[in-house]
Amino acid sequence: MKGKKKKTAKLQNMRAIEIPKFRAVSSGVQPIDAIFGDGDSFHNTWLMSHRHLLKTHIYEPQDFLWHECEEMSQADINRSVWALAVNDDVTAEDVAPYKLIEFPGGMFLVATADEKDDDDLNATVNCMMDWINNSDIFEYGDFPKSGMCNMPNPDGAIDKALGIAQQQIYLPLKFRSS
């Protein structure tokens, strides 16, 4: 092996995935505290009493949080949206006062960082952006501009044992224009 250069992984510990369209209940655009905060938040008030409407998952969470902004660098957590996949028979009346939406799906580059560590989050996103910017196949996609995230183990023993909060980061991809 002496003299041979070690080959690096093409995706550098990330993955490129396709998410299909799906129906979801949306928190609507709200400040992050109105979605997850203590007291009368989307999470505490609506979600806790309506879990039976949500699609269950075996491996990957079926919910995404993103920020409504024009550019990823201008992400505004006070204009956030949380969308959670719902069962096929769920109606608009079932999710009131929130709305049913069709999540458009798309292609995404995915990596995992520690939500509790800003340096790790920034390094992970920077690595992802470098990969996208240097790709001959993909460029940064259109939706959502901020990228999005979810927590694979939001209340899990794994994160507690590791002493971190794993956050999956999804950056939108589209095929590079010729």
pTM for the model stands at 0.90
Which pLDDT tens digit goes with each residue over 105-123?
999 999 999 999 999 999 9
Which pLDDT tens digit goes with each residue over 129-174?
999 999 999 999 999 999 999 998 867 789 999 999 999 999 999 9
Collapse the DSSP code of 111 into the 3-class scheme (helix H, G, I; strand E, B; otherwise coil) and give the result: strand
